[in-house]
Every structure is written in C-alpha cells, then in structure tokens.
Amino acid sequence: MSEATALVVLAMSLAAAITRTRWAPDWAIAVGGALILVALGVISVTGARHALASFGPTIGFLAALLVLGDACRRSGLFEALGSTMAIASHGRPIRLLALVFAAAAGTTAVLSLDATVVLLTPIVFATAAGLRVSSRPQVYACSHLANTASLLLPVSNLTNLLAFHASRLSFTRFGALMALPWLAGLAIEWIVLTRAFRSELQPTAAQAPAPEAPRPLPRFALVVLALTLVGFAVSSAIRIAPAWVAALAALVMIARERPRPGEIVLAAQPAFLAFVLALAVIVTAASTHGLSSAVASLLPHGSSLLALMAIAVVSAVLANLVNNLPATLIVLPVVATSGAGPVLAMLIGVNVGPNVTYVGSLATLLWRRIVHAHDETVDVAEFVRLGALTVAPALVACTLCLWLALRVV
Amino acid sequence: MRAVIWIAEETWQACVRHARELVPEQADVTLLHVAPSDVEELAAAGPAGLLGRRRPPHERDLRTVSDEEARQLLDAARIQLGRDCSTVARRGRVEREVVAACADADLLVAARDGERSLGPKSLGPRARFIVDHAPCTVVLVWAQEPPGITTIPPLPAPHHKRH
C-alpha cells in the first residue's frame, strides 16, 4: 500500500512536470505529494529530513551554477559565440558544424546541458540563418551534444551533480574517468551526423552574406569560467566542496553584471530547486518500499564490463521512458552501493540515452504530440533513426572507455 | 506559363541563373522559399526535456529569425533574377511544401541537393521526393559546376578466363 501511494505521488509529480499545466505547477504537486507521504507515514520525518540533508548541498551547488550560467548570458557570451562562429566558419557548413561541436561540447561540459539547450541552440539557429546555410545539421548537433557532451564533469548535467556526491569521487577524478567516454561520445556523434547530413554540409556555391559587426567574446566571463574550472580541480586537494567554488564564481559574475536581486532569485529557479528536493523525498519513500529492490533485481552487481554495459543500457531505457532526472534518482541508490564504476555507467545511460527522442523522454514526446497534433512538428522518424544510430554505439563505446579508464586512471 | 523557382539556402544562385536562361520571358515566375518547420521545432522543443526548469525567455523568437532570413533570401534572389516575379514564403516539411506550391505550375526549377558526383546520390531525400512527386515539368540543375562524366563508376571488369 505504502509503495503504491509513493508511486502514485511520483507519477503525479512527473505528469505535472511533463504537462506543465498552469493550475497545477509541478513544484507544488511534488512538494504537496512529499508532505502527504510524510503525513501518511510512508516516509518518516527522519527519513525525509535525511533525504533533504543528503541532497541539500547538491541543490545549493545547482543554484550557484544556474546563477553563473545566467550571468554568462548577461555578459553576452552566447551572442559573442554565435558571432565568432559566423566569422570563423567562412560560410562553410562543415566548418560551422565543427565550431558548433566545439561550442556545444564546451558549453555543456562547463555550464551544463541546460545552457546548451536554452541559451546556445537559439543562437546557433540564428547563426546558420544569418549565414544562409542549412540549420538542420547545426541544430541536430546542439540537441545531441547537450546530452552526449554532458558526461565530462559533475557540473555538466544535473544527473551528474546528483550522482557526484554518491560516487565519492573527487571533482578531478570524476573528470579524469569520464574524459575518455566523453571523447568517444563526441567522436561517434561527429561520424554519424556528418554522414547523415552530408548533402547539407556540402560547400555552398552561394556567397555568404557579410557577417554582422563582430561581437568580441567577453573576456571577463571567460577568465572567470577558466578560474572556476581550476578552482573545481584544486577544490578536492584543499578540501573545499566544489559548490563553494561555483558560489564564488557566481558572486563575482553578479558583481560584474549587476543583475537586480529579483533577477538573481529568478535565475536560481527556486521552484525548480524545490521540485528536485521534493522529488528526491518522493523517490526515497518509493525506494524504501520496494522500488529499490525492484530496480536492483534488474541490475547486475560489480564493475565488470558486462555489468557496466547492463547498467548503462537499463538506465538509458528508464531515462527514455520517464526522463533522466527521475531515472537517476531511482537507479542511484541501487548502484551507489557498488562503487564509482556502476554510478558512472548509470550516468552514461541516463545522459546519452535520451538522444533517442528530442525532448528527453517518450513520455514528454507523446504529450507534445498530443498538444501539437495539428502543428508541423519534428520528423520523429528522422530524429529517432539518428538517435538510435548514435545512442547504441555511443552507449557501447562510452562504457567500454569507462571500463578502460577505471583500470588505467 | 507559370514557373516556380525553388530558393533553398545552398542552391538558390544556380536555380536563379538557370531560370534566367531557360524560363521564357512571358512566363509568370514565382520564387519559393520553404522554412523547415521541423528544425525550428527541434530548436524550440529542447527545453521541454528539461524537467521542472523554468521556460527560457526567448529574446529573439526563432520564427522571427527564420522569417527574416527567408525574406532576405527571396529579396536577394529577386534582384539576381532581374525581372518581375512574385515571392512566396512557406513553412513546413520542405519537400511537401515545394510540391504543393507547384499544384498550378507548369514548370519547377529545382537543384540537386546531394553529392557532387553523377548518380542517384546526387539527389538528397528532399530533391528526390520533389522530382518523384512534382505535378509539372522539372528542370533539375546542379548547384555547382556539374561533375565530369568520369565520376560515373566504370563497368565491372570482365572476368579473366584462367587457362
């Protein structure tokens, strides 16, 4: 009974997040659901408090990163990236794609997939339009790399951030272990996308229009980001939580960009932070009442290559069904007991896997198809075909590279 | 006679150049651009996958960007054509919109959108659909200098008899 109640609350919270109805905001449903679970005794007050305490620091880290990303947007970083790509591409589509790969991989790794999806993709779309080249390969690259390139660092994806604490890895070791899988993922994306879009990537006969006045890259923001990365790397050596480095970087950028206090709060997305915390409590409640043992029965134990592959595949399937955020919360407690290798294999699954659909999960895709049934929408068949072409080899190659890295690094 | 010239990002200059030579003076010419709505949707749909996050404030609406680009492209094509013509900007699945725009046309000038070698791969999926489904005469041009006849693969070598 308790398990069923927790699962119903979880399903309602996810449904609210996917459908985004105005009268039932996802954060309110999730927070209300979590409170009901506590009131009904499905999860004890101590249990809920423990879950909040264990995810609290991660939420603080996330808030700092969100504010940092927003301050980078204010500094004009993404417009400048668009302008730089337009000039450096010389109007050649394949060159532009290489630049988009670099920009998307870098943005995702350092500022998280949210920044690539929300801030970089519209800029890339406008850049391709301004150069009068097909935006199809460029936008596909952004969409795919937001997921695939989010393997590298704990800050590259919220899933990584959630798993980082449980993995008991230092920031540097996390990055060192994931560097090879990250590069393997990027290589597979490049091979598949350049082949799939080879006709769109032919050099054009048309003269590209003269680019608009170049916008210089904001040096201050770039220096802050570089120093932030250095800070993350040395944080474990000097025993400071990397969240403090992110907080300091966010403060420096706030001092520079001077957003209004209300804008800072908005950038930190308090409703989203509340949603994640409430979801963590709900999943903990469901996990203690049987969800964990159900997931554990699907997953092998240990860090053998086959075990890592199985974890990556199961995580990818789960992420595709619901979304990678709940998938991570569900799988994490099960794999965390087996050490860092299985946790990182899970991240390969939940990060790379969602490329099968363009909206993160089948649930969201189905909902969008219902809502936008009469609109011209994405050619789902084309996206799913390309998704399958990249996800299957990427899961195998990334996991293989992780297995190697676990032995060498 | 009604002629439609397909203006696509990569190939429009070749289409206009050939149209100047091939389309009769008295023809009623329409320049057609189709914005691929699926790419726009792909760029806009990403945030839907970010569960629980706030929707981004779009500073420049993607639709505005793509409309502006279409207008500039059609203007550039009209100037290069150098004669009276109408322009049509559509949005949707490119290949289907091009075919639909040719419903009352007698002639379509379109370009190959595939590889630069002789053979079936010189047509990409969109041009392939248009050639197969256009309800009118299609003039199919090369976007660049046509590849030489040598790009046809040679006949398979005859089997040598062993003595």
Instruction: Report pLDDT digits (tens) over A223-254.
Output: 999 999 999 999 888 888 899 999 999 999 99
Nearest partner of A323 among B43, B49, B56, judged by Cα: B49
**Rounded to an integer, what distance in angstroms lies between the CA atom of residue A48 and that of residue A31?**
12
Beta carbons within 8 Å of A152's beta carbon, 6+ residues apart: A108, A109, A175, A178, A179, A182
Within 10 angstroms of residue A142's Cβ, the number of other Cβ atoms is 28
Confidence of residue A21 (pLDDT cuts 50, 70, 90): confident
Of A200, A216, A236, nearest to A382 by C-alpha is A200
pLDDT in the model for residue A373: 65
Model pTM score: 0.91
ipTM of the complex: 0.85
pLDDT in tens, B91-140: 988 999 999 999 999 999 999 988 888 888 889 889 999 999 999 999 99
Name which of B6, B7, B10 to mutate to probe chain A: the one with the most chain A Cβ atoms within 10 A of its Cβ.
Answer: B10
Give CA–CA dist B47/A114, Å, rounded. Answer: 8
The answer to whether A375 contacts chain B (CB < 8 Å) is: yes
Contacts of residue A281, Cβ cutoff 8 Å, sequence gap at least 6: A34, A37, A38, A43, A48, A51, A52
Determine the length of chain B: 163
Q: Is the dihedral of CA A247, A248, A252, A258 positive or negative?
A: positive
A386 part of contact set with chain B, CB < 8 Å: no
Q: Which chain A residues touch B71 with a CB distance below 8 Å?
A: none
The answer to whether A117 contacts B115, with C-beta atoms less than 8 Å apart, is no
Q: SS3 of B5, please?
A: strand
CA distance A237 to B124: 54
Q: Which tokens go with B50?
A: 């970010």
The predicted model gives A301-312 an average pLDDT of 93
- Bridge partner list, B31: B5, B87
Task: Classify residue A216 by burial, with Cβ atoms within 10 Å: 0-12, 13-18, 19+.
Answer: exposed
Q: Are A92 and A203 in contact (CB under 8 A)?
A: yes
Q: Which of A117, A139, A382 sits opposite B50 (nearest CB)?
A: A117
All residues of chain B having their beta carbon less than 8 Å from the beta carbon of residue A135 are 36, 39, 43
Min Cα separation A148/chain B (Å): 14
Query: In chain A, positions 29-68, which contact chain B (CB-CB < 8 Å)?
Result: none
**What gap in Å lies between CA A370 and CA A382, rounded to an integer?**
19
Measured between beta carbons, the chain B residues lying within 8 angstroms of A383 are 42
Q: In what order do the strands lie in the sheet with B107-111?
A: B86-92, B28-36, B2-6, B107-111, B137-141
Average pLDDT, chain A: 91
The count of residues in chain A is 409
Gap between the terminal Cα atoms of chain B: 65
Please report the pLDDT score of residue A362 as a whole number: 81
A132-136, A310-314, B13-17, B94-98: segment of lowest average pLDDT: A132-136
**Helix spans in A197-323 (H):** 219-235, 242-257, 261-267, 270-286, 292-298, 305-321
Q: Tell me which H or E stretch contains A78.
A: helix A77-88
